[in-house]
Structure 1
Amino acid sequence: MDFRYKGKGDVTHSVSLLISILIRYPEVAKINFDPDRQVLRFTFIYSRVLSEAEINALREKILSSIEVYNLLENKQPQVINLDYKISENLTMIEIQRDVDTLVQEEIALMVELFQQYINKNLVTEEHDQLVDEDLVVQEELIEHMLESVKTKSENKRLYAFREEGRVLVFNK
């Protein structure tokens, strides 16, 4: 998978984090980083329009699972939100999480929950599957970059998404 960074300066930890998440998890359609709020916004795309009842059921399942995970890990997240937007025949579901309490395992949990609840209708880009060793390396890189973003004050609003086998990152 190829990637492009459309911004000024070096590839920062936050840019590397977004790239690694999109490479590791093809189920994540796009990801944004808001440095002011220290929040990551993960967007998943469902290939049809969900009803209000389906959205509410999905919201309850996803958010309660994330809350239970954090309770078991003895963490108190500052931001856990799920929002959605309907566009044409798609439902875009966005999860917002603060980077201070987010860990790689929780990202894996989010992706797994989406796979379980909206499995065959989850839009994902087909690409060469990473071998197990590459998956572990990407997961370790995500964890390392998350820790770096937590300790460094980066002030670039970033937006990353996939397009035709490439990961594109923009500095807003």
Structure 2
Amino acid sequence: MDSVTRDLFLAQDGDNEAFTRVMQATEGDVRRFCAWQNLHRDDIDDVVQETFLRAYRGLHTLSYGITCRSWILTIARNTCVDHFRKSGQLRRNTKAIERHVQSHQDDATTTVALEQMIFSLPEVFRDAFVLVRLMGFSYDEVAAILGCPRGTVQSRVARARESLMLSAGNEQVSKVS
């Protein structure tokens, strides 16, 4: 059991400082995941805060065998879905993609184009691809986060990669996969 997961179980036993350490250790992952969910920059802070509030309130639901990162990102994913549902936005909103691309005009053209292609992937492929290839989670961790079998995650990552290769060409995709 890693130290962050250990802190999560200490927090479950009432150690508030342990939960603060969990937040500090996982906030970057939660922010990156939210950014890849096509959230507007102003909404990311709200969703991150709501994720940790839900995690704190849900400490009693923890069971052994789960890793902290998987548990927190499952909550983040559900919080993002709820945010889009409440706001009436679609995840793959074209205007949001255009805003994102425009906000990165100083970046290299290929990077922006690749980001836009990733945003245009179907949600199930994008989530698996981002978590495995861009955030470095194992297939087993992603299976726990997405609530599906490991083989399904592998298939989704492969399909996302194939789609990106068709859209961008092998050189650009090999940089992130």
**Which structure: larger Rg?**
2
TM-score, normalised via structure 1 length: 0.27
Considering fraction of residues, name the structure with more helix. Answer: 2
User: Relative contact order (alpha carbons < 8 A, sep ≥ 6): 1 or 2 greater?
Assistant: 1
Structure number having the greater strand percentage: 1
State TM-score, norm by structure 2. 0.27
